[in-house]
Amino acid sequence: MVRWEPGAKERLQLAALDLFLHRGFEQTTVQDIAQEAGLTERTFFRHFADKREVLFQGQQQYAAEFVRGVRDAPAGAAPFELIRAALLSGSVLFDDERRPWSRQRQAVIDANPALQERESLKRVSLTDVLTEALVARGVDDVDARLTAEIGVSAFFVAFRGWIRADEQRSLDDLQQEALARMAAILPTRAPA
């Protein structure tokens, strides 16, 4: 007889999403989740720093793809090209199979302020790592931050559209549209 089944973390994540969906985040205790996964509270907290974090693991995987897009872009690419590459690279994680799961997860987050708080912090972290990646590609500090802000905004606006019930377009299509619209909103520079 084994002392523990493999995949404890995954079991906890699945149990948590399921319970949050049906009972609500606040109405679900960590003990409930652990019990559902055949583990104890203490073990839950070994895998996740806090109760909310169980929904946000995997985000750093997205950040990594994002950064990889920047790192692998052709030499001499302008900041705007770098951010397009980042967005395209990240979008591969959001295929049509994932759409229903993303919808469920987002519904749970939208129903709870504490989870929105964590999500918004993840957004900031994503902007930070992207900024760093741009600086590593030689972009000026402030421009890097602004470029990252533009890119992350495009991602989040596109993502919201992507999980809409009637939306069929790919995430990257929506991202490109968001970037184009932002360019249209900002004033054109006077020709040199």
Partner DNA sequence: GTCTATAGTGCGATAGAC
Partner DNA sequence: GTCTATCGCACTATAGAC
Q: By CB under 8 A, name the binding residues for its own copies.
A: 79-80, 113, 116-118, 120-121, 123-124, 142-143, 145-147, 149-150, 153, 156-157, 161, 178-179, 181-189
Query: Which residues, in sequence order, are CB contacts of 65 under 8 Å at separation 6+?
Result: 89, 90, 92, 93
173 neighbors 159 (Cβ within 8 angstroms):
no
Alpha helices in 24-78 (DSSP H): 30-36, 41-47, 59-71
**Residue number, 3 or 22, with CB nearest to DNA:** 3
* CA torsion through residues 176, 182, 187, 192, sign: negative
Helix axes 79-91, 59-71, angle to 10 degrees: 140
Amino acid at 55: L
Q: Is position 112 an interface residue for DNA (rule: CB under 7 A)? A: no
Binding mask 5-44 for DNA (x = CB under 7 A): ---x-------------------xxxx--x---xxxxxx-
Element (H, E) at 141: helix 141-162
Q: Is position 52 an interface residue for DNA (rule: CB under 7 A)? A: yes
Among 46, 103, 160, 164, binds DNA (CB under 7 A): 46
DSSP 189: P
Question: From the CB of 152, what's the least distance to its own copies, in Å?
Answer: 9
Greatest Cα pair distance in the chain = 75
| 45, interface contact from its own copies, DNA, none, CB < 5-8 Å by kind | DNA
Q: Is position 118 an interface residue for DNA (rule: CB under 7 A)? A: no
| 182, interface contact from its own copies, DNA, none, CB < 5-8 Å by kind | its own copies
Q: Which residues bind DNA (CB under 7 A)?
A: 1-4, 8, 28-31, 34, 38-43, 45-47, 49-52
